[in-house]
Each structure stands twice: as structure tokens, then as C-alpha cells.
């Protein structure tokens, strides 16, 4: 985790776990993305789980950052699963016409880790 980051990045085996518990304003979202990509490079991870259960709102910019981070991680050889999306957040994203193409989703952390295990095993 860098000095400017407000979001801890934990390592569990070859997987990174990021639990976002604060609102992602533009600067924080950009720092989150840079920190996650740097951690992937430094730690050589095969999986990334991003828990957004602590987010009450996801705007189009934050949704784009999350989707881009997943796609960038994939280019670096890391599979990404986004977990903990609240119904209100999902409904807002659908109404805005914004999908999270290229990023797998799961209901909660347990399901996300299980999905990631299957994805990594199939590689």
C-alpha cells in the first residue's frame, strides 16, 4: 500500500483482496487503481477480489475505474472478481446503461473466492 492510498490491499496466497470501505472520489479511485496494479506487478498474483459492499453509491467514473482495473489486471495475467454489489448500485449501473464488461461478479466474498478458484483452475 502506498503512502497516498486509503484502501488496504491484502494478500491471501496468490490472490489480492481489496475491500473498499470509503467513498471513491476521483483522486481516491485513481490512487486505488494505481496501487492495485502496482501490487499485482510486485507480488505476481493470479487473482484479485474487489469487495465493494461498503460503497453506497457507484457513479459512472467509479464504475469505469473498477472495470478498467479488472481489464488491466487481466492484461497482467490476473483474474478479477467484483463482490458485494448492493442492489441499489446494480440498479443504478443498469439504468445508466453501464456494464462491467470483462469483470466477473459474485454476490459475496465467499462466492467470489470460489469463483476465482474455478477461473484460475481452468487456466
Q: What is the pLDDT of residues 1-24, one digit of tens each?
A: 444 568 999 999 999 999 999 988
Domain-wise residue ranges, the chain: 9-122
Contact yes or no for 63/32 (Cβ under 8 A): no
| Cross-strand bridge partners of residue 101 | none
Percentages helix, strand, coil for the chain (3-state, rounded to 5) are 45, 20, 35
Is-above-0.85 flag for pTM?
yes
Q: What is the pLDDT of residues 64-98, one digit of tens each?
A: 899 999 999 999 999 999 999 999 888 888 888 77
For 42-63, letters b (16+ CB in 10 Å) and e give eeebbbbbbbbeebeebbeebb
The CATH topology of domain 9-122 is Transcription Regulator spoIIAA (3.30.750)
Amino acid at each position: 500500500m502506498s503512502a497516498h492510498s486509503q484502501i488496504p490491499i491484502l494478500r491471501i496466497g496468490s490472490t489480492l483482496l481489496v475491500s473498499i470501505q470509503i467513498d471513491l472520489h476521483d483522486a481516491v479511485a485513481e490512487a486505488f487503481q494505481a496501487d492495485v496494479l502496482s501490487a499485482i506487478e510486485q507480488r505476481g498474483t493470479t487473482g484479485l477480489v474487489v469487495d465493494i459492499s461498503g460503497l453506497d453509491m457507484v457513479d459512472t467514473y467509479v464504475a469505469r475505474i473498477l472495470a478498467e482495473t479488472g481489464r488491466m489486471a487481466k492484461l497482467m495475467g490476473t483474474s478479477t472478481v467484483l463482490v458485494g454489489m448492493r442492489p441499489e448500485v446494480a440498479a443504478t449501473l443498469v439504468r445508466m446503461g453501464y456494464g462491467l464488461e470483462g469483470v466477473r461478479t459474485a454476490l459475496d466474498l465467499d462466492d467470489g473466492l470460489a469463483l476465482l478458484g474455478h477461473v484460475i483452475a481452468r487456466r
